[in-house]
Structure 1
C-alpha cells in the first residue's frame, strides 16, 4: 500500500484542487485511489469541504476528518500520540478498499502554528511519500523555490527519501492563452516548454528541484475561468440580502466594477461575467443592468450598497428584466467596503459547487506528468511500520483478541491506572491480584476511575487453591510447605493461574526484577515444544519506523544454534505485530571484513537460521550502521537485501544488546516496548521498573496478542 501526502507551502495554493486533480489523474490511469483528510481546520465541522467534494466528484465514500476542536484539544493536552493513532485509524479504514491513498495535509497559517510539525509527524505515522504543493510565479522563480525549500526542511531536507515531487499550482506569469486550455484529461496540453524553462531558472539557485530526486510533477496555470466564484457564494461575505436571487447559483463573477460616475462613462463595464457594484440610490445603474440583461448580456449580478433601500418603483419597473435571471443583492456596507470585502474572498471551491469542482479536477489532472504517475503506480515500495501505526495495530488486535491478563502487582499505582485504561478500552480483561480495599485507596488517591467490570482478586482468598497443583507441576522439586511459601509471591500465584489456563497471559515487573518475573515462568510454564530456549525482544519506536531488538534481556552469551533460534523467534514476533521482517545478525564486522570467534559465531548462526527458515530475509554478520543506514549498507554489503533496510536486529550477546537498546532509547528519546518474552508455552512479559503507564498498557496489549497467536 502506498500513501501520498500532499503538503502545502501556505494558504491559497490550491491544495484541495491538487488533491482532487491527483485522484482523477490516477483514476484515468486505471487506479482507484482512496482519499483521507485526517485533520479538519474548519471551525464548524459541517463546513468541511475537501472530503465532501471528493465524495461528490469521485462518487466514493470516505472517512470524516478529526474535528478541529479535537485536534487543538489533544495537542494542547500533550496527546499528540493519541491524535496520530486516530489519524492512522482513519487511514487504515480507507486502506481496506484501496492500495493507494491520497492524504491532504494541514495548511500552515497564522492561527495553526502546529501545522508544519503535525504534517511531518503525519508523514511518519502513515509512512507516506510527500508531494509539496505550492503556488508559483514564472517571473519570480527564486521566490517560488524558496517556498519549496522552506517546506522540505520539515521532512529532513533535499536528501529525504520521503520527498516524491513538487506540484506548482495557480502558476502566474504564463502566456495569456495557457490558462484557456480546454478542461480535458489530455496530457498533450501540458506546458512542457514553460515547465522546462521555469525549472531551469529555479535550478540556478536550488539545483535539486526538478531533478529525478525531486521532480516537478506539474505546472498548473492560474485560470480566471476556473478560479471564479458564483454570485451565491459571495452574498454572506458582503453581508447582503437577496432582492432577487435569479441565477445566482450559476452566474460566475469574472470581474467586479464599481459604478461611481455618470452612467454614460461606465457603459463599457456592462459585459458578461461582470459584477456591478453601486450605491442603492443609483436608479440609472439599476436600469442599465436590467437593459443589459434583457439584451442578452449575462452580468454576474448587481450589488446595491449603503444603508437606504433601493427605490421600489424602479425595482418594479425592472421586474421583467430581473426575472430573466439577473441576481440583485443589497448590502448595508458602503460601495468601497463592499469592494474591499470582495477582494479578500478566497478561491476555495464551495461544497455545493460540483460543476466547478469537476472542471478544476480535470484541469489540474491534465497538467500532471503521466510518466510520474506511471512511476508512482509501478514503483516498488518497501513499507515501514511507523510507531503510530504500530500502537494503533497493537490496540486493535488486542481488542479483537479479548484475552484475560493477570497483573500480580495489583495495587501498584501505575498498574492500577493501566488496568483501568485497558479495561475501559477493551484492550484486555484485566485481573488485579491485590486486596480490593488497597486498589480502591490507590485509585482514590490518583483520581483513577475503576471500571465496574475490572476484576480484583484478593490473593489470600485463592492461594490455597494452587498449593496441590503447584506441587504436582514441580513434582519432586518442592513439597506443600514450600509451594505454600512460594505462593505468597503474587507473581508465582499469577503464573499458576496462567499454567492452569485460568488466564491467558501475565504482565509483571513494575516493582519486581526480571528474574522475579521470569523464573516462575521457566519453572511452571516452560518453553514451547518447537523451541529450546526463551528469549526476548524490545519494540523500539523510532520516529520513522519500528525496529525489533533481540535478545536484550535474557540470554547472556548464546551459541550459534541459540542465536539462530533467537533470530527465528524474533522474526515470528515481528510478523505477529505487522512488521515484515528483514533480519540483520549484528557483529562488529560486516561480511568477511573481520575475523574472530565472535564474528564466526554470528556467521554460523546466520547460516543455521537460513537453513531452518528459508522463507526469512536474513543476513549477517552486519555492523549496526551497515544494517540500518542505506548508504552505508550499499557501500559495505552491496548485494545484500537486508543491509541498510533491516528492521529486526539480533545482537550477539546480552552485553551488546542491552547496552545498545538503552543507548538508543535514552540518546534518541525513543519509546521502547518490552521486553516481550518469546519461546514460552504461554505469554509472560516483564516490565521495566521505570515503566510509564503507557508502557504497561502496550505490554498488556502485546501479551493479549501473543496469547491469541499461540491459541490460533
Structure 2
C-alpha cells in the first residue's frame, strides 16, 4: 500500500510549494517511485505539478481530481459528497501505481474540514504548513498549537507541523508531533527580472553582452525608484534591487551600470518608464560596461510600474532550477529529514533505483559536511555546480583561480558563490608551503624549490596539495583538464592505500531499474591478476559504501571452463585471489556479461551460482573492454554514467569528463564528499 502524505496549508502564502518539493525529495530517497496529486487544480497551467513531474520522472497523465471551476459549481449545487467521490475515484488508481504519493491540499473556500475529509478518505498522514512570516516567536508558538489542535479536532492523522517563512530562526514549539521551523529565504519567493518583464508587458532593450537568460533570471529582492541625482541614487541602491527610472535619465542608467559592474552594489536589472527610448550613446556606454544586466522599457509611469511589479510573487517551477535548489536547501537545512521520515513511517528501501541513488548522494554528503577544492574555478559549469552545492549545503568549497575573475563570471551568470573560499594559486601565501612540501616529496626525482614553486602554481597540483596537507578533504577536477593532469598529481602526492597494488576507478551505471558498478574503465590499461583482484575488492567496497549490495562478476569471454587462453587464465587467477582475500564477497569468474546479468542465461551456463544472473559489480579484464562497454551501455541503453570515481588513493580525488554536465559535477562532488567522510 502506498504511503500517502497530505500537505495541508493553514493560512495563505505559507510557501506550500517549497515544502511540497522538500517532501517529494525526501520520499524519492526512500521509495522507488513517487506520485503527486492535487485534489482541486486551478484551470491555469500548474507549474508546481509540472516541476514535480519532470524532476521525479512521474509519467501519469492526470495529476489532479477536478478543476476549481468544477469544484465550485458542485459545491454551489450542494453536491459535496459527489465532489469527494469524484476526487477519490481519480486518486485511487494513481495511489496503486506508486510507492508513495504527495497530495497537495486545496485552499478552496479555506475549508479545513474538506481537506481533512479528503486526507482521511485517502488514508493519508497530514503535514501541516503554517505561514510564519511577519510574526514573533510567541505568536509562532501559538500558531503551531492552533494548527495542531484544529487538525486533531477533525480527527486528522498528523505527522508533522511546519512553520514556514518565519522572519528568523527560532526554537520549534513543543507539540505531540514533530514541529519544524523554516526561516524566510528571500530568493525563493522573489520574482525574476524575466517574470517582472512578463507581468509588466515590458520590452527588452538589452540584456547586456553576456548571457541573456542569466540577465533575465536574476532575482528581484527590492525595488528602487530613481529620480534624484546620481549621488543620491547611489546611496539608495540596495543589493539585487530593480531600478525603475524614466527613460530619459541617461545619467542614472550609466551610473547604475557602473555601480553594478564595479562591484559597488549588485543590481537585478533596470526598468525605463514612460516609453522613452534611452539615449543611444548612453546605452552604448552601458553595454560597454558589460554589467550583465537587462534593461526593460514600459509605457507606464514609475508609480504604476512599481505598483504592478510589487504585486507579484515567483512560483516554483521547472524554468528556474536555481530557486528549486534554494528551496531544497532551506528544507533540508531546517527539517530533520530522518526524523520526518520516521514520522511518515518510511522504511529503508529494499532496492535502489537511479533516482534514489542520485538523491541519496546529496543527503549523505550533507549529513557530514566536508570541504572540497575545485581547481577549475572560472569554468561556467563548475560555477553553476558550485551555486547548487552551496545552496543545498552539500559541501564547503574552495574555488581556485583569480578571485576577481571568479566573482565577475559568477555575477554575469547570476550565480551566488559568495560562500566559497576563493584562492589564486599564483599569489596565495600557501604556495611557498606547498612548494617546500612538493620538493621534499619529489627530491628523489631532482625537484628543486624553484621548480616546485612553478609546479604548485598549477591549479591541479595546488588543489592536490590542499588535500594532502589538510586544507581540504577532497578534490574534483577534469572539466577542462585531461584525466592525466588530474590524476598524476594525486599519484605523486597522495599515493595509494598501503597494501593495495593499484589505484583504480569505477563508474556507477544508472539504468532505468537498477544501479550497477563497472570497474576499471578509466585508469589501468592491462592489469595483471593481482591488480585485477585489488580492483574487484575495491569496487565491491565502493559499491557497498554507496548502497549497492556487491555481487562481483569477473568478466571474460569465457564462462566457467567453457574457454581457454591467457586472458581467461588471468581472470580465473584474479577470482581465486578475491575469494582467498575476501571470503565474505560473492564473486564469480570467469563469466561472460550475459551470464552475469541475465537470470535466464545464468540458469543455463552457471546454474546455482550466487552471482550469475544477478551481478551488481562488473570487473572488466582490461581498460579497452571496460571503457568501450560503459560507453556502449551509456549510449545504447540510455544509462547515466556517474564517474569515474577513483578508489585506492589515501585521500579522495576524482576526475570529471571534459564533457561533464552540471549535474555530473554535482554528483561527483557529492560522491567525493562521502568518500572524505570515510577517510
Unaligned runs of 5+ in 2: 63-69, 89-113, 125-347
Structure 1 pair 86–635 and aligned structure 2 pair: CA distance change class (3 A): farther
Distance apart, 1:550 and its partner CA: 0.4
The CA deviation string for residues 572-609 of structure 1, in whole angstroms up to 9 with x for no partner, is 11111111111111111222222211112112111110
Q: TM-score, normalised by structure 2?
A: 0.55
Distance apart, 1:340 and its partner CA: 8.6
Is 1:615 equivalent to 2:615 in the alignment? no
Distance apart, 1:500 and its partner CA: 1.1
Partner of 1:317: none
| Equivalent position to 2:389, from 419, 422, 425 | 422
Q: Which has the higher Rg, Structure 1 or Structure 2?
A: 1
> Which SS does the other structure have where 2:397 is aligned?
strand
Distance in 2, matches of 1:87 and 1:408, equals 34
Question: How many pairs align?
Answer: 417
Is 1:501 equivalent to 2:493 in the alignment? no
Partner of 2:435: 467
Q: Are the aligned partners of 2:654 and 2:672 in contact in 1 as well (CA < 8 Å)?
A: yes
Partner of 1:403: 370
Distance in 2, matches of 1:437 and 1:395, equals 29
Distance apart, 1:546 and its partner CA: 1.3
| Equivalent position to 1:445, from 391, 409, 412 | 412
Distance apart, 1:502 and its partner CA: 1.5
> Which SS does the other structure have where 1:476 is aligned?
helix
Partner of 1:346: 85
Is 1:573 equivalent to 2:539 in the alignment? no
Q: Are the aligned partners of 1:585 and 1:619 in contact in 2 as well (CA < 8 Å)?
A: yes
| Equivalent position to 1:455, from 417, 421, 434 | 421
Q: Are the aligned partners of 1:237 and 1:341 in contact in 2 as well (CA < 8 Å)?
A: no
Partner of 1:649: 618
Q: Note the 1:466-615 alignment, pairs <5 A.
A: 466-477=434-445, 478-615=447-584
Q: Note the 1:125-274 alignment, pairs <5 A.
A: none
Distance in 1, matches of 2:546 and 2:677, equals 12
Partner of 1:87: 24
Distance in 2, matches of 1:354 and 1:339, equals 17
Partner of 1:631: 600
Distance apart, 1:465 and its partner CA: 2.7
Distance apart, 1:106 and its partner CA: 5.4
Distance apart, 1:563 and its partner CA: 0.6
Distance in 2, matches of 1:458 and 1:571, equals 38
The CA deviation string for residues 254-289 of structure 1, in whole angstroms up to 9 with x for no partner, is xxxxxxxxxxxxxxxxxxxxxxxxxxxxxxxxxxxx
Distance in 1, matches of 2:619 and 2:115, equals 53
Distance in 2, matches of 1:591 and 1:109, equals 60
Partner of 1:394: 361
Distance in 2, matches of 1:555 and 1:512, equals 19
Q: Are the aligned partners of 1:552 and 1:657 in contact in 2 as well (CA < 8 Å)?
A: yes
Distance in 2, matches of 1:117 and 1:235, equals 24
Distance apart, 1:508 and its partner CA: 0.8
Q: TM-score, normalised by structure 1?
A: 0.52
Structure 1 pair 118–591 and aligned structure 2 pair: CA distance change class (3 A): farther
Distance in 1, matches of 2:444 and 2:651, equals 23
Distance in 2, matches of 1:621 and 1:533, equals 21
Structure 1 pair 570–86 and aligned structure 2 pair: CA distance change class (3 A): farther
Structure 1 pair 446–592 and aligned structure 2 pair: CA distance change class (3 A): same
Q: Are the aligned partners of 1:527 and 1:679 in contact in 2 as well (CA < 8 Å)?
A: yes
Is 1:385 equivalent to 2:124 in the alignment? no
Q: Are the aligned partners of 1:430 and 1:455 in contact in 2 as well (CA < 8 Å)?
A: yes
Structure 1 pair 488–355 and aligned structure 2 pair: CA distance change class (3 A): closer
Partner of 1:301: none
Distance in 2, matches of 1:546 and 1:618, equals 18
The CA deviation string for residues 221-258 of structure 1, in whole angstroms up to 9 with x for no partner, is xxxxxxxxxxxxx9986556xxxxxxxxxxxxxxxxxx
Distance apart, 1:109 and its partner CA: 12
Q: Are the aligned partners of 2:642 and 2:664 in contact in 1 as well (CA < 8 Å)?
A: yes
Distance apart, 1:615 and its partner CA: 0.9
> Which SS does the other structure have where 2:427 is aligned?
helix
RMSD of equivalent CA atoms: 4.1
Structure 1 pair 106–482 and aligned structure 2 pair: CA distance change class (3 A): same
Q: Are the aligned partners of 1:664 and 1:670 in contact in 2 as well (CA < 8 Å)?
A: yes
The CA deviation string for residues 479-532 of structure 1, in whole angstroms up to 9 with x for no partner, is 112212212311011111211111111111111111111111111111111312
Q: Are the aligned partners of 1:630 and 1:644 in contact in 2 as well (CA < 8 Å)?
A: yes
Is 1:433 equivalent to 2:172 in the alignment? no
Task: Single out whichever of 615-624 and 676-685 deviates more from structure 2.
Answer: 615-624
Q: Are the aligned partners of 2:550 and 2:585 in contact in 1 as well (CA < 8 Å)?
A: yes
Q: Are the aligned partners of 1:36 and 1:103 in contact in 2 as well (CA < 8 Å)?
A: no
> Which SS does the other structure have where 1:459 is aligned?
coil
Distance in 2, matches of 1:70 and 1:685, equals 34
Q: Are the aligned partners of 1:88 and 1:388 in contact in 2 as well (CA < 8 Å)?
A: no
Q: Are the aligned partners of 1:36 and 1:90 in contact in 2 as well (CA < 8 Å)?
A: no
Distance in 2, matches of 1:530 and 1:696, equals 31
Distance apart, 1:631 and its partner CA: 2.1
Partner of 1:187: none
Distance in 1, matches of 2:50 and 2:462, equals 51
Partner of 1:263: none
Unaligned runs of 5+ in 1: 6-34, 48-65, 72-82, 96-100, 126-149, 155-233, 241-337, 361-380
Distance apart, 1:86 and its partner CA: 5.6
